[in-house]
Chains A and B, each alone.
Chain A
Amino acid sequence: MSVSKPLPHDAACLHVTGAARYIDDLATPADTLHLAFGLSTIARGRIEAMDLDPVRAADGVLEVLTSLDLPADNDVSAAAHDEPLLSDGTIHYMGQPVFLVVATSHMAARKAARLARIDYSEQTPILSIDDALAAGQAFEPPLEFVKGDPEAAIACAAHVIEGQIEIGGQEHFYLEGHVALALPQEGGDMLIHSSSQHPSEIQHKVAGALGQPFNSVRVEVRRMGGGFGGKESQGNALAVATAIVAQQTGKPVKMRYDRDDDMIITGKRHEFRIDYIAGFSDEGRITGVSFTQYCRGGWAQDLTLAIADRAMLHADNAYHLENARITSHRLRTNTVSNTAYRGFGGPQGLLGIERVIDHIAHELGKDPKQVRDVNYYRPMSDAAKETTPYHMEVTDCVINEMVATLAKTADYTERRRAVAKWNAENKILKRGIALTPVKFGISFTLTFLNQAGALVHIYSDGSVHLNHGGTEMGQGLFTKVAQVAASAFGLPLTAIKITATDTAKVPNTSATAASSGSDLNGMAVKAACDQLRNRLIRFLKGEYAVKSQDIRFEDGQVRISGHETLSFAEVASRAYQNRVSLSATGFYATPDVAWDRLKGSGRPFYYFAYGAAVSEVVIDTLTGENRILRTDILHDVGRSLNPALDLGQVEGGFVQGTGWLTTEELVWDDKGRLLTHAPSTYKIPACSDRPAEFNVHLWDKGLNQEKTIYRSKAVGEPPFMLGTSVFMAISDAISACGDGRSYPALDAPATPERILFAIKAQQGREGA
């Protein structure tokens, strides 16, 4: 059976030979037009006057559009209708698209876009979390989840700590920047190629902007060169811009952002600040905790509410909190509109409680692992059901056994001793080690999104055409889903033709997000394949007078007990000749999920995915430089659909998570200008930044308690948060620098600068 085999990515051979086509690689007609946005150069204010003549006069420019030239809806927002394609006169952030240049080449459009003369009346921008709080700028009133009586619990706790952590944002840095291509069709219809995780939303926004019904717009996505959440909503502007110009000119139109533009214009991971107060026992058991999460949303709402919700939903991580209050502020600022990014707020929420645990351990002089151990949810085999702060029962907890296993294979206890010894012998370099867990909730918290569709054809030669609503951004979704189809028919993977995501084949799709791609689309495809298989079985039963169980699909053949063995092709051909329908749609809706976000109660998640990591780091106390020496990971993917692809998600997610917490620093100046808008200044992990020793394993006992596709678990986002182990190991190393009295309240990302100043603070207490 194809499922559970470590097969290569379906496009691997195309990737390595350069034959895999991304949108900018598609051959386009010679008269294709190219676009670029002219961007605002202030962060907040009004446009008083705009002289675009120099832009119009530039080489290769055909036309320049402003918001007044748009045919219909001037909106590219994901939800709140608050994101104009082109500024309507108000400027909300520096880099906001103000006008649109139409030119004969990409370069001509870019050059011309810089020639506008715009007069602004400037207002003081609201940039920071504090600015937004002071100005009362929020997308909705603060939201709160309460369980038990946290204040009372804290008041009578044996120990209490208080603190705060600042958490930086993150640029997606998908290697392929945003791009869209619009090809006008007859009768005003439009075909869009978009590098998007959400083709249906692209379809809806384009239709809205053209003033057409959805059925006049078709969106196709074969693959993205990375997405990570950054292409969930941020591609709308390019698709809409190309469609409008294509409609107006009747010509093909392409738009891609130059890397700097991409980083300046598009949203990123939300910055957070988390304040905490926790009460706990002598053992370190948390008796009451209160978190206040401040979330910087940027200028437009985008997906901020759901992201802030998910941060709240992960404020417990893997720990049972009997008394908890989680308050969330969703703040509006004059910065890029922050958006989905792998983990969707979860990583920030999780970092809050991991910080609390680390702080408690320091306060009690304990190994943080011991404090973690006494706070985990109980294993699922324990009868006692424990609930999350949002009152969902945790019935599938496996973290206890995973952590115990990992601690053993990673030799945690012995190495912790060795680190202490090494630190005693080394003055300038210090090591640190930490073990951190991950528990991540799987499902869209907007419950209705938990649905998917598929379309499967068997052609009369037995070859299979597969389509579904999910998009391929490198995660291997297409491969996994094709494995599901191949298994249903007993065919090799090569017999399944994987086709581009297409709104004309499967409609009304959800974004490929929330790690749900395989769960949802795998099930939908299976549903379609099962129907087709049942039709073939029914047909063969009639032909051979056998029972269903006498017919087996395997090895590309159909074996009929007591009768001949037919090739799958022969069965398809005969079924066709006997007028059996060989095309089916499949549909899946996740069962049992229901969630009231305002009450903070219900079952937002179908299940949880678990993982744990041990990282050891070394820091330089003179410079704050730091390195990961070794990481060991044990991750639960249930029963893996494809262990090779799953391992890739775990390794890659971890490294991306470490980047977020170490080298990746977004810097804005006090005018609201992003200073780190290129890879020269924004540093994602390079090859040598991965752990020098890197041992990654999928948990061999993994099994989803819920009836997911082949009992697998989602894997896209959860491993990202394993990167927390590195941050906590750095914190551990810093605490070895002084007399151990003060807690190194490290903010993220832990750049050399932050580390150095945290060390200084430690040392400043020495001898005091």
Chain B
Amino acid sequence: MDIQFLLNGETVRIAKVPATRTLLAWLRESRALTGTKEGCNEGDCGACTVMVSAFEDGQIRHRALNACILFLPQLDGKAVRTVEGLSGPEGQMHPVQAAMVEHHGSQCGFCTPGIVMSLAVAHRNGAQNFNDILAGNLCRCTGYAPIIRAAEAASQAPDASWLDTDIDKLAALTSSAARPPAEAQIFAPRSSQDLAGWFLENSDATLIGGATDVGLWVTKRLSSLGKVCFLGQVADMQGISVDENRVRIGAATTMNEVQDAIGKFHPDLAELLRRYGSVQVRNAATLGGNIGNGSPIGDGPPALIALGATLHLRRGTARREIPLEDFFIAYGKQDIEPGEFIEAVSVPRQTDALRCYKISKRFDQDISALCGCFNIHVNDGVVTTARIAFGGMAATPKRAATVESRLVGNAWNAATIEAALSAFDVDFSPIDDMRASAAYRLETARNLLLRYFAEQSEGRASTRILEVTP
């Protein structure tokens, strides 16, 4: 596969691009652009943050992404700006850079290029929720306070108009959409039909959504992947469509888009996704990947299972639909055939009763020790339906079936809740690991039901620690 993209305003063509060469390694080793740093090589520290711009549905979008787990083929047809490419034509600093100097936002300076890039993207997008914007940029020196002062100051400054030249140039970039020859190791299909056909014949290939998981197989597990198929350009698997019965989310939709679109229907799921990874991670990670990796600690599945989501699978021209919870059979084992892939997830329209509780050592960008999602409907004081699903409590995302059964048909009151608590031991036998002990997981899972109940009866002010003001 040959690719083309803009690097700091210049067109770059790479013939026969290596499938899993990361942008970070390429920038530093092949282009001598060493401003972009490696702090962890696994998407957690943000020192490698770059700005990636592309047209999506005819609109230009600017995103912060981690270059360490971004493979070169994912950049085809896009524009990349690194910290070296931010300053203006006369060498003037970007407003974010100038503010970082003025407000003493750098100490050791190693995280600084990544911080600058995250803030520059936010500046371009007019975003000011700096705690979220910087959740994926670790700084060990400053305690963040001066960085926030810089960010606030810079947000008053006009945009760096010189970056707009990328937009015109982007339109002129062409990339080859042709189906590759049989021996090709890389494919980047434009439609689910192309994907389905190719994957049927190349079922040993690795599908790559955002590579926030697969990236680490390369940078940490040091695996060689063989054939790969990038889903980033499969147009009909992106985005969210709504009809009166359901909300349908394409499998290649990024988590940030899911977060933006789902808030209307289920605000607490949007809040859960706000704490999923970081801006950089959510800009890459796809819903299909979050389900497809089969992880027992992913945050998407428990929430979607609680909502009664359906998984849309496709193999060649054959399509099937299964309840999402049935996809997860055992640890590392999912209901998916060779050559089959996730095409979409759909959520039935319903009155919102979903509450999602992500419990981790750190609020932002941490993997859940457990994630409890509760969707309980009450009519005339009696529980009519209860769907409760947990991540981090078993070898798969799992429903609390016994707990649910103790609720349904009973009065929605403290006695019913109390009676349901002991059922958690029946439904779950979690493990000890570095995130939490089994005892903590069980105790907290029970308490989350109490939290849900308290929230319904006393209001969320009584339970939401993140909403307490000083």
Question: Which residues of the other chain, A, contact B139 by a CB distance below 8 angstroms?
Answer: 175, 687
Instruction: Pick from B146, B367, B462, B470: contact of A427, CB below 8 A.
Output: B462
Interface membership of B110, Cβ < 8 A? yes
Name B87's closest neighbour in chain A (CB-CB). A17
Known contacts A12-B100, A259-B42; A676/B434 CB under 8 A: yes
Chain B's interface size range is 35 or more
Is A114 interfacial (CB 8 A cutoff)?
yes
Give the complex CA separation of A647 and B98 in angstroms: 19
Q: Does residue A476 face the partner (Cβ distance < 8 Å to B)?
A: yes
Structural contact, A678 and B365, CB atoms closer than 8 A: no
Looking at B184-192, B199-207, B325-333, B356-364, the stretch in contact with chain A turns out to be B356-364
Specify which of B32, B113, B364 is in contact with A687 (CB 8 Å cutoff): B364
Contact of A232 with B by CB under 8 A: no
Interface of chain A residues 640 through 671 with chain B (CB within 8 A): 644-645, 647-648, 651-656, 663, 665, 667
Contact A174 B144 (CB under 8 A): no
Which chain B residues numbered 76 to 96 have a C-beta less than 8 Å away from chain A?
A: 82-84, 86-87, 93, 96
Given A175-B37, A683-B361; A753-B143 close (CB under 8 Å)? no
User: Which residues of A have CB within 8 Å of B38?
Assistant: 24
Min Cβ gap B127→A in Å is 14
The verdict on B141 contacting chain A, using a C-beta distance below 8 Å, is yes
Contact yes or no, A686 B106, CB < 8 A: no
B440 within 8 A of A: yes
Contact partner of B463 among A620, A667, A693, CB < 8 A? Answer: A620
Beta-carbon nearest neighbor of B362 in chain A: A683
Q: Which of A16, A223, A689 contacts B97 (CB 8 A)?
A: A16
Inside 8 A of B143's CB, which chain A residues have their CB? 651-656, 685, 690
Given contacts A175-B108, A681-B434, A756-B440, contact A17 B84 (CB under 8 A): yes
Interface bits A43-69 vs B (CB < 8 Å: 1, else 0): 000000000000000000000000000
CB neighbors of B among A683-719 (8 A): 683-690, 692-694, 696
Residue of A111, A680, A681 most packed against chain B (CB within 10 A) = A680
Is A226 an interface position by the 8 A CB rule? yes
B142 lies within 8 A of chain A by Cβ: yes
Contact between B108 and A687, CB atoms less than 8 A apart: no
| Distance from A766 Cβ to chain B, minimum over Cβ atoms (Å) | 16
Surface stretch bound by B, among A185-193, A298-306, A624-632: A624-632
- Alpha-carbon gap, A575 to B82, bound state (A): 47
Is B468 part of the contact surface with A, judged by Cβ < 8 Å? yes
Interface residues in A10-61 by Cβ distance below 8 A to B read: 11-22, 24-25, 27
Chain B 104-118 near chain A by CB (<8 Å), digits 1 or 0: 111111111100100
| B106-140 interface with A by 8 A CB criterion | 106-113, 116, 130-132, 134-135, 137-140
Per-position binary interface string of chain A over residues 416-452, scored 1 when its CB falls under 8 Å from any chain B CB and 0 otherwise: 0000000000111101000000000000000000000
- CA–CA, A258 to B109, complex, Å? 19
**Using a Cβ–Cβ cut-off of 8 Å, how many residues does chain A contribute to the interface with B?**
95
From A682, which residue of chain B is reached at the shortest CB distance?
B434
Q: Name the CB-closest residue of A to B44.
A: A679
The residue on A at minimum CB distance from B359 is A623
Q: Which of A21, A176, A692, A757 has the most CB of B within 10 A?
A: A176
B440-A645 in contact (CB<8A): no
Closest to B84 in A: A18
Residues of A within 8 A of B138 (CB): 173, 175, 679, 684, 686
Q: How far is the CA of A350 from the CA of B398 in the complex (A)?
A: 45
**B434 contact set on A, CB distance < 8 A:** 665, 667, 675-676, 681
A110 contacts B93, C-beta separation under 8 Å: no
CB–CB A9/B468 < 8 A: no
Is the Cβ of B140 less than 8 Å from the Cβ of A173? yes
Q: Please, which residues of chain B bring their CB within 8 A of the CB of A14?
A: 109
Q: A15-B112, A17-B87, A175-B45 are in contact. Are A681 and B435 (CB under 8 A)?
A: yes
Looking at A14, A24, A428, A626, the one whose CB has the most chain B CB atoms below 10 A away is A428
Q: Is A622 an interface residue, CB under 8 A from the partner?
A: yes
- Main SS of chain B's interface residues? loop
Cβ of A616 within 8 Å of any chain B Cβ, yes or no, is yes
A:596-644 near B, CB below 8 Å: 616, 618-620, 622-627, 629-630, 644
Q: A679 contacts B45, CB within 8 Å?
A: yes
B454-470 residues with Cβ-Cβ distance < 8 A to A are 454, 462-463, 465-466, 468-470
The reply on B148 being an interface residue by CB < 8 A is yes
A756's partner among B35, B360, B443 (CB-CB below 8 A) is B443
- Taking CB atoms, residues of chain B closer than 8 Å to A684 are 138, 140
Alpha-carbon distance A228/B35, docked complex (angstroms): 23
Cβ < 8 Å to A, chain B residues 426-457 = 433-437, 440, 443-444, 447-448, 450-451, 454
Is A474 a contact of B361 with CB atoms below 8 Å?
no
Inter-chain contact A429/B110, CB cutoff 8 Å: no
Structural contact, A175 and B47, CB atoms closer than 8 A: yes
Indicate whether A224 reaches chain B with its CB closer than 8 angstroms.
yes
Task: Report B121 CB to chain A, min CB distance, Å.
Answer: 15
Asked if residues A16 and B116 are in contact (CB atoms below 8 Å), the reply is yes
Write the nearest CB–CB distance from A632 to chain B, whole angstroms. 11
Q: How far is the CA of A476 from the CA of B102 in the complex (A)?
A: 15
Q: Does A473 contact B (CB under 8 A)?
A: yes
Q: How far is the CA of A474 from the CA of B42 in the complex (A)?
A: 24
B42 touches A620 (CB 8 A): no
* A141 contacts partner chain B, Cβ-Cβ < 8 Å: no
Task: Determine whether the beta carbon of A620 is less than 8 Å from that of B37.
Answer: no
Q: Is the CB of A687 within 8 A of B144?
A: yes
B145 — which chain A residues lie within 8 A by C-beta? Answer: 651, 655, 690, 694, 696
A622 to B450, Cβ gap below 8 A?
yes
Interface assignment of A379: CB less than 8 Å from any CB of chain B: no
Contact A24 B34 (CB under 8 A): yes
Residues A223 and B436 in contact in the complex (CB < 8 Å), given A110-B222, A623-B447, A687-B135: no
**A176 engages B144 (CB within 8 Å):** no
Residues of the B chain whose Cβ atoms lie less than 8 Å from the Cβ of A22: 37, 110
Pairwise interchain contact B222-A11, C-beta atoms closer than 8 A: no
Chain A residues in 8 Å Cβ range of B25? 107
Judge whether B425 is part of the interface by a CB distance below 8 angstroms.
Answer: no
- B146:A651 contact, CB within 8 angstroms: yes
Residues of B within 8 A of A689 (CB): 362-364
Closest to A676 in B: B434
Chain B neighbourhood of A627, CB < 8 A = 363, 465-466, 468
Chain A positions within 8 Å of B339 at CB level? none
Question: Does B9 make an interface contact (CB < 8 A)?
Answer: no
Residues of A within 8 A of B131 (CB): 687-688
Kindly state whether residue B14 has any CB partner on chain A within 8 Å: no
Chain A residues within 8 Å of B357, by CB: 623
A547 to B222, CA, bound (A): 72
- Decide if A648 touches B42 in the complex (CB within 8 Å): no
B349 at the A interface (CB under 8 A): no
How far in angstroms is the closest Cβ of chain A from B212? 11
Q: A175-B138, A693-B470 are in contact. Are A752 and B45 (CB under 8 A)?
A: no
Are A223 and B109 CB-contacts (below 8 A) given A625-B465, A648-B104?
Answer: yes
Q: When each residue 278-318 of chain A gets 1 if its CB lies under 8 Å from chain B and 0 otherwise, what string results?
A: 00000000000000000000000000000000000000000
A400 is an interface residue with CB less than 8 A from chain B? no
**CB-based contact A629/B447 at 8 Å:** no
- Tell me the bound Cα distance from A757 to B447 in angstroms: 13
Interface residues in chain A, defined as those with a beta carbon under 8 Å from any beta carbon in chain B: 6, 8-9, 11-22, 24-25, 27, 107, 110-111, 114, 172-177, 223-228, 258-260, 426-429, 431, 473-476, 616, 618-620, 622-627, 629-630, 644-645, 647-648, 651-656, 663, 665, 667, 675-676, 678-681, 683-690, 692-694, 696, 751-753, 756-757, 760
Residue pairs across A and B with Cβ atoms less than 8 A apart, 14 shown, are: A16-B101, A16-B106, A17-B97, A18-B34, A27-B32, A174-B108, A174-B140, A175-B110, A259-B41, A622-B447, A627-B466, A630-B470, A685-B362, A753-B440
Given contacts A623-B451, A676-B434, 7 further A-B contacts (CB under 8 A): A16-B96, A223-B108, A475-B107, A644-B104, A683-B361, A686-B363, A689-B364
The 9 A-B pairs with the shortest beta carbon distances in the complex, nearest first, are: A18-B35, A474-B108, A225-B110, A655-B143, A15-B109, A18-B83, A25-B34, A474-B107, A622-B447
